[in-house]
């Protein structure tokens, strides 16, 4: 059976990747970054789909059941940690490009967040969450593209917007926050640390607009 939500998520990430690649990555780096992103995406999918083997090893003998198995929040969390570790490993010799490349990756997630929210038409207790998700997920990347020197203002606003919107909706919470909220805060903190350690964010202005 086709998982419509999963298909919409893949579509949102794919569109987010194409937009981020063209808006936030310089022409000379696009092919290399696309290869890295595809590797990260495949790694995330593999880790997510294989996660159920940790608590039900017998699924290895039933590959179809394993393929259809939902790894849940824990699977998403593990996939995210593996992808993050792989990203930094791939950039161990490119420390000067860390901020720019992680920024572009963060924009994929933000755009995908907005698109997925619009596609799912999420409403909770009469609140049209999909409108707010679409607004934050699509407006802030556009503003960051147009005003690249305003990262220090726009990034915390974008992260805060995601945290606020998610607080309005349902979802399991860990220490008061949902997985998406923790993810938004983690991405922002990493960007903040990288911006302090690495002063190359404005190189994105070299891209063709």
Between CA 129 and CA 166 the distance in angstroms is 8
Q: Three-state SS for 169?
A: coil
Global pTM value: 0.85
CA 119 to chain centre: 16
Rounded average pLDDT over 56-84: 84
Rounded to a whole number, what is the largest CA-CA distance in the chain? 53
Neighbours of 139 (CB within 10 A): 15
* Beta carbons of 23 and 118 less than 8 angstroms apart: no
Q: Is the pLDDT of residue 199 over 80?
A: no
Find the range with the poorest average confidence among 179-183, 191-195, 201-205.
Answer: 201-205
**Cβ contacts of residue 76 below 8 Å, gap of 6+?**
48, 179
Q: For residue 200, what pLDDT band results from cuts at 50, 70 and 90? A: low
Q: What is the pLDDT of residues 113-166, one digit of tens each?
A: 999 999 988 777 778 888 999 999 999 999 999 887 888 889 999 999 999 999
**Residue ranges of domains in the chain:** 4-206
């Amino acid at each position: 059976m086709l998982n419509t939500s999963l298909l919409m998520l893949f579509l949102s990430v794919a569109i987010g990747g194409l937009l981020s690649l063209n808006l936030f990555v310089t022409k000379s780096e696009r092919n290399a970054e696309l290869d890295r992103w595809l590797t990260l995406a495949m790694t995330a999918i593999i880790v997510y789909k294989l996660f159920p083997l940790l608590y039900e090893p017998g699924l290895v003998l039933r590959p179809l059941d394993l393929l259809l198995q939902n790894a849940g929040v824990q699977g998403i969390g593990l996939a995210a940690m593996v992808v993050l570790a792989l990203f930094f490993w791939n950039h161990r010799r490119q420390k000067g490009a860390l901020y720019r490349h992680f920024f572009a990756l963060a924009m994929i997630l933000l755009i995908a967040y907005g698109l997925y929210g619009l596609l799912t038409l999420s409403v909770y207790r009469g609140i049209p969450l999909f409108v707010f998700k679409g607004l934050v997920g699509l407006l802030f990347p556009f503003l960051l593209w147009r005003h690249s020197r305003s990262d220090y203002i726009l990034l915390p606003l974008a992260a805060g917007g995601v945290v606020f919107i998610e607080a309005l909706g349902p979802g399991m919470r860990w220490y008061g926050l949902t997985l998406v909220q923790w993810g938004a805060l983690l991405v922002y903190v990493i960007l903040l640390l990288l911006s302090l350690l690495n002063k190359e964010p404005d190189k994105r202005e070299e891209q063709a607009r």
